[in-house]
A = this chain, B = another copy of it.
Amino acid sequence: MTAIPWLTQLQENGYRLTGARRAVVETVQQATHALTPLQVFDLARKKYPALGLVSVYRTLEKLEELHLIQRVHQPQGCQAFISAGSGHQHLLLCQNCGQVEFFEGDDLEALTSVISQRTGYQIKEHWLQLFGLCRNCQ
């Protein structure tokens, strides 16, 4: 998959296409691990050496706003981002190497209706994240 759809989306939302943005977008889109802003900076600078860290923050902000990336919450920190899956998806993270996989097909209907009844809450959303070891790391 190429970086074009993301760049197009940025453009369609009134943002200009620049070297800094191209480098950040390509970097994040290619990643199979969640990346912190600093990691994005280090990787993207190889493609575009003039890049400033500030532009990484600014671009990540826009990508998140367009739902092209999502923040990854982990016990050791919540500053990393990964390309967002399309549709309703959840994350599976390798506790050893940090690799990220998406999965879907969870059915929490039965659970949420029980909880809803038990607590009186009207349930709107859920966060589900699995942690484990990828094939390589087992």
Contacts and interface: CB of A to CB of B under 8 A. Distances in A.
Interface of A: 73, 78, 92, 94-95, 101, 103, 105-108, 111-112, 114-116, 118-135, 138
Question: Within the oligomer, what is the number of copies of this chain?
Answer: 2
A69 B127 CA distance: 20
A108 B126 CA distance: 14
21 contacts: A73-B73, A92-B119, A92-B121, A101-B121, A108-B128, A116-B132, A119-B134, A120-B134, A121-B132, A122-B132, A122-B138, A123-B130, A123-B131, A124-B133, A125-B130, A125-B131, A127-B127, A127-B128, A127-B129, A127-B131, A128-B129
B103 A115 contact: yes
